[in-house]
Amino acid sequence: MIDIHSHILFGLDDGADSMTEGLAMAKQAVQDGVQVIYATPHHLHPQFEYHQDELYHNFNEFNTQLIKEGIPLEVRIGQEIRLSGDLVEQLNSKEALTLGNDGKYVLIEFPSDHVPEYAQRLLFDVQVAGYQPIIAHPERNKEIMQKPELLYKLVRDGSLAQLTAASVAGKFGKKIQEFSFDLIEANLIHFVASDAHNTNTRGFVLTHAWENIRKEFGLETVYYLRENAEILADHGQVISDEPLRIKQKKKKKIFKFF
Q: Which tens digits make up the pLDDT trace of 153-189?
A: 999 999 999 999 999 999 999 999 999 999 999 999 9
pLDDT at 249: 55
Q: How far apart are CA 88 and CA 7, in angstroms?
A: 23
Q: Which tens digits make up the pLDDT trace of 26-43?
A: 999 999 999 999 999 999
Instruction: Name the pLDDT band for 258 (thresholds 50, 70, 90).
Output: very low
- In order of their start, the domains of the chain are 2-233 (3.20.20.140)
Percent of the chain at pLDDT exceeding 90: 92
Largest Cα span, the chain:
74
HSE-CB for 78 with a 13 A CA cutoff:
30
Q: How far apart are CA 204 and CA 195, in angstroms?
A: 8
Q: Please say if the pLDDT value at position 251 is more than 90.
A: no
Q: Which tens digits make up the pLDDT trace of 53-96?
A: 999 999 999 999 999 999 999 999 999 999 999 999 999 999 99
For the residues of 123-150, what is the DSSP string, one character each? HHHHHHTT-EEEEE-GGG-HHHHH-THH
- Phi and psi (nearest 5°) for 101? 55, 25
pLDDT at 243: 97
Which candidate, 167, 231, 237, places its Cα nearest to that of 205?
A: 167
pLDDT at 44: 86
pLDDT at 248: 60
pLDDT at 255: 43
pLDDT at 46: 85
Q: Please say if the pLDDT value at position 10 is more than 50.
A: yes
